[in-house]
Amino acid sequence: MFDIGKTLRKVLRKPITLSDDETLIEIETMIFQDKLDQVIQRLDQYEKDGFQSSELQEINFKKHFCTFLRSRAYVDMGKANESIEILENSMEVIKDTNNPVLVNLSKIEYGNALLAGGKIPESWDILDQAEQEVNGLKLFYNNDYKSNQARVNNLQSKVYLRKGDFREAIREQNESIDLYEKIGKQYHTAEPLNGLGVSYASIGESDRALHYLSLSSHIYEKLENQSQLLKIYNNTGMIYWLGGKHSQALDNFQKALDISQQKRNKQASAMILLNLGLIYIDQGQIAKSQKNFEESMTLFEELGNRPSIAKCQFNLSNIYKLYGELDKSIEYLELCLAYYQEIDNKDELAKTYANMGGLYIELRKDHKAIKLLTQSLEIHEASGNILAMVQPLNGLIEANIALNNMPEAEISLKKFEEVKELHSDNKSVQHQYKLANAKILIESDRVVKRAEAQKLFTEIADDEVVSQQHTTEAMLRLGELLLQELKLSASEDALNEFKDLIDRLDKVARSEGTQSVEQTPTIVQVLMLQSKLALIDLDVKKSQTLLDEGYDLANKNGLMQLAQIIDGERETYKKEMMKYKKMVETNASLYERLQQSQIENYLKRAESILKR
């Protein structure tokens, strides 16, 4: 924002009191107060009335200011394309005025509109030009220089956010806040404060993020600015979602959606539909989530917002991963990758490389996975995003183990240990490190190392559940070791210990407040294991009931491949029914029943499914 009266005085080289421009000042204030429809009406009327001036130079200057204010209102209304259009229609005319202030202000507004429309490279170029020009106009602007510089800092921070350079974004946001505070424009700090919340959330500092969002929210509540509060609610919802607080996330997203629909803001509605899709995944509603992502992507395509289209594609990739359609999942990630490479968004590139690497591991294309995971790791290391290194390190360890390249796996583990030491208070990181270490130890021929692996798996299984995925993976790995013992000993005690572990696994997967569709495949696999255990006990009826439950759950959540697998199992049971009846009649030994069940194959498949 800028002081219109002061700027006009300097440019026109004659005294102009604030009252001479009270209409423009009032309109600018109305933007802050979120009276956007009224802003457009007042601008229309002001232009129709001839700008309350008889001098051509003053009329032209005020005319261009009206364009800037109209542009800003359109951006806040979610109409970035309209904003871009009116500015592009004015840029050449403004350039011909040879007025450096007007040219500079036009670039600031144009950069804002491009940014809102998702045109990142273009916005970066124009804002860079604007910043250089502002620096050249320092003496001319006086305090207006600080105001415009603060605005450029804030807009450039948004570019850094889109590019994944969060440290630079934080630097720009702090500079913007400092400048606004120096010239007494406290209300103007609300937007960069919101940006600080997003930046800190992006580097995992959620408490700090919520603090800054709260400060921003307090200012916008005083101004009764619903359009900006919408953004705060949306950002707060994302932080709660990332922290696993789905109820609070849903409340904030719903508040944001209500405002966006009331304001008829297509851009905001599309973003909130996308975020609600994430909640629906956690609630086990895959089909509803997919519908939200597709609707959101359609809206973003209409708006031409490529960054947000890429977000939809990324989430649709996760949907198809849950469906087990890995090739389709990779196709969506490749679309994301092409865009993030184009705009050089390091953070999103790293995430996409890591996700693609994980999919190629599942497809047992480990060499390709290692290349992608290494690229992801290098980006996170270079940016100092230490916590984000965990995902590619996990993948590199797994892929190298699969290739029997243990020295490389141990190199990755050593790097993982450094991450663990830096995040000693993060229990999730501690669990993941133990898992990775145990996976390497279990590959050893030495009994002592395998025993150490079993100890680590047991520690995770017995500890509090921080992540269902990590706890269930540890339990399944522990189950594999117990099953080996069971097959060797064929003892009832070993069988009961294995049953107890599977029952505990079932409770973890179904635990209240954390169950999501991502856990549904695990629950289904547990039901299949319990079905096999019932067969080992020769309880055919219970075995069939458990399989039916698994089929219904998979079918309900749209996991059709998994449902087909269970349906195949039910057909196999029908064919082998006579074998089990004979085993009942002959009182078959535990060893015979174990051999017939082939339960170890189900355990391995459960581990494979869990990785999705």
CB neighbour list of residue 210: distance below 8 Å, 6 or more residues apart:
197, 236, 239
pLDDT of residue 572: 82
Give the residues of the chain that fall short of pLDDT 70: 1-21, 51-57, 134-145, 512-519, 605-612
Task: DSSP letter for 305, please.
Answer: -
Q: Do 412 and 370 contact (CB within 8 A), yes or no?
A: no
pLDDT of residue 135: 63
CA dihedral 257, 262, 266, 270 (to 10 degrees): 10
**Closest C-alpha among 363, 167, 59 to residue 175:** 167
Cα–Cα distances in Å, from 243 out to 205, 236, 239?
11, 11, 6
pLDDT of residue 513: 45
CA 502 – CA 533 distance, rounded (Å): 9
**Closest C-alpha among 253, 283, 292, 356 to residue 557:** 283
Domain 237-325 has CATH 1.25.40.10: yes
With residues binned 3-state (H G I as helix, E B as strand, rest as coil), the percentages for the chain, rounded to 5, are 85, 0, 15
pLDDT of residue 517: 56
CB neighbour list of residue 160: distance below 8 Å, 6 or more residues apart:
166, 168, 169, 172
pLDDT of residue 120: 75
CB neighbour list of residue 566: distance below 8 Å, 6 or more residues apart:
524, 528, 547, 550, 551, 554
DSSP 367-420: HHHHHHHHHHHHHHHHHT--GGGHHHHHHHHHHHHHTT-HHHHHHHHHHHHHHH
CB neighbour list of residue 337: distance below 8 Å, 6 or more residues apart:
349, 352, 353, 356
Query: What are the tens digits of pLDDT across the range 88-142?
Result: 999 888 888 777 878 888 888 898 898 888 887 888 788 888 777 766 665 455 5
Task: DSSP letter for 466, please.
Answer: S
Question: If you count them, how many residues does the chain have?
Answer: 612
CA-based R_g, the chain, Å:
30
pLDDT of residue 103: 85
Range(s) of the chain covered by CATH 1.25.40.10: 237-325
Helix (H) or strand (E) holding 586: helix 577-586
